[in-house]
Amino acid sequence: MSATQSFLMSFVEFTAALFIFIIGIIGIIALIVYIKDVTQTKQAILRNYPIIGHFRYLFEHLGEFFRQYFFAMDREELPFNRAQRTWVYKAAKNVSNTVAFGSTKDLRKRGSVLFVNSPFPTLDEDAVPSLKTTIGKDCLMPYSTEAIFCISGMSYGAISKPAVLSLSHGAKKAGIWMNTGEGGLSPYHLEGDCDIVFQIGTAKNGVSDQDGNLDDDLLREVAAHPQVKMFELKLSQGAKPGKGGILPKEKVSKEIAAIRNIPVGEAAISPNRHTDVSSNSDLLLLINRIRDVTGKPTGFKAVISDASWLDDLFTEIQEQGIDSAPDFIVVDSADGGTGAAPLPLIDDMGLPLRESLPMLDNKLTEYGLRDRVKVIASGKLITPADVAWAICLGADFCVSARGFMFALGCIQALQCNKNTCPTGITTHDKHLQKGLIPDSKIGRVVDYAHNIEHEVGIIAHSCGVKEPRALSRKHARIVTDHNLSIPMNQLHPIPAVLKQYKRNKLKNDFG
């Protein structure tokens, strides 16, 4: 027998022995699992179908990933369908978003928005950029910007270091602001040198003393950063009205704990509301304290579901004087996003923007505050049509978190609360973060923001106005019963005083 034949026989024998060994190990593991399954008493599936019952849980988990690629139609998946995500992905890569043949959107669906095209659309040479808008014009340091679409609150902690860096640098290049979320101001927010909105959540992370009370000295330290342009007091969030922020313990690293001034390795659960705010007078007192200490525009973010609350708040402002009013109000939709929240609050609490935004716009006008208080819309606004629709309803600005997450590469894996995000956006697992390279994502943030602004302009020009903020409720219709639409200004009637405000604004803006 030759040496080659001898080697081959030995290799075959070794391979056979290894195969038998592996089969034996698998058999032993299967036996252990079988015994464990049939003797446990908690799960009927595993007790009745030992071993194979585990595949049910595997398929249930994998279904989250496969559903969006193989089974769901382009426009049927929630919270964002494939058509919406694809538009963002293309916009972020600056790939042409033109399509052929016809729309796949069902224009008969109740609630669909149809913009009203003008017989005499705006010519390209007559179009103007978004007009610069000032927030807090009477503040010591007012904030002026041409941006109409900016980055909503995402805390460092809820999202990763490379995600924050990508957004910060991208926001600077795009000329938009970035909201810190309630997790405090990290070095990574500052590194990009973008305009920053500092959010103060109910735990007051980063600006509270050891007892959780607002600390004026820490406020001044934050305000001393020239990048910090405004302060946002978060009363409630669209995905979880009435519930404070939730940062799972797996995400509370030593660095994040230091930024927030909380214990390492313990879940960070914020109070359900600001402990020092139990009335409208308390709210105005806190807003004015923050504005007086920082000298910068200050407003609040809330899910708005009750017109009577707005009546009480705005009456209180009238009694105290218009200077007591917030400089802006961020109205968050009930279908807003979050890293972690109880399902009943995500599904069933609060009003969506289609009701709360015109309610706020009307009430501000009714009480003579519309010019004083700027309105920022938040919640599931990720495409040009979403943004244009919100502007028609009364928004001065729109902000998005999940849209910019998609721009970074989010695949809607629904793992935000588990520290297992496969794209590295919402995890602090270094192995998973390595796939998110800021240098390659900054441009996508910029392109996404610019393409939103460009295509909102296209909608505005088709409606016959020169720039997006000239859009109003008359420029959109809503599909109702019998597949027919009605003008938005009929669905949400505009008070006479608001009509006059809009006319004055157009006259002042365009002459």
CB burial class (10 A; 0-12, 13-18, 19+) of residue 500? Answer: exposed
Per-residue 3-state assignment (H helix, E strand, C coil) for 271-306: CCCCCCCCCHHHHHHHHHHHHHHHCCCEEEEECCCC
Count of beta carbons in the 10 Å neighbourhood of residue 59: 10
State how beta strands 298-302 and 113-115 pair.
unpaired
Question: Is residue 511 predicted with pLDDT exceeding 60?
Answer: no
Angle value at C-alpha 466, between 87 and 370, nearest 5 degrees: 90
DSSP 54-101: HHHHHHHHHHHHHIIIIIS-TTT-SSS-HHHHHHHHHHHTT------S
Chain segment 426-474, per-residue pLDDT in tens: 887 888 888 788 998 999 999 999 999 999 999 999 999 999 999 999 9
What is the average per-residue pLDDT within 201-224? 90
Which tops the pLDDT comparison, 150 or 380? 150
Mean pLDDT (the chain, rounded): 85
Chain segment 126-145, per-residue pLDDT in tens: 888 888 999 999 999 999 99
Number of domains in the chain: 1
Residue 389 lies in a domain: yes
Residue 472 lies in a domain: yes
DSSP 386-450: HHHHHHHHT-SEEEESHHHHHHHT----S-TTTT--TTSSS---HHHHTT--HHHHHHHHHHHHH
Residue 178 lies in a domain: yes
Residue 210 lies in a domain: yes
Residue 218 lies in a domain: yes
> Of the ranges 87-91, 98-102, 203-207, 216-220, which one carries the lowest mean pLDDT score?
98-102
Report the candidate in 383, 351, 365 with the shortest Cα–Cα distance to residue 456: 383
What is the average per-residue pLDDT within 253-272? 80
Question: Is residue 44 predicted with pLDDT exceeding 60?
Answer: no
Residue 263 lies in a domain: yes
pLDDT band at 172 (very low <50, low <70, confident <90, very high): very high
Chain segment 388-437, per-residue pLDDT in tens: 999 999 999 999 999 999 999 887 877 777 777 888 888 878 888 887 88
pLDDT band at 61 (very low <50, low <70, confident <90, very high): low
pLDDT at 309: 95
Residue 479 lies in a domain: yes
Question: Is residue 42 predicted with pLDDT exceeding 70?
Answer: no
DSSP 201-257: -TT-TTSB-TTS-B-HHHHHHHHTSTTEEEEEEE---TTSTT---EE-GGG--HHHH
Residue 482 belongs to a domain with what CATH number?
Answer: 3.20.20.70
Distance, in Å, from the CA atom of 36 to the CA atom of 18, rounded to the nearest integer, reads 27
Domain range spanning residue 459?
124-510
If you ran DSSP here, which 8-state letter would residue 138 be given?
T
Question: Is residue 19 predicted with pLDDT exceeding 90?
Answer: no
> Of the ranges 234-238, 276-280, 343-347, which one carries the lowest mean pLDDT score?
343-347
Residue 106 lies in a domain: no
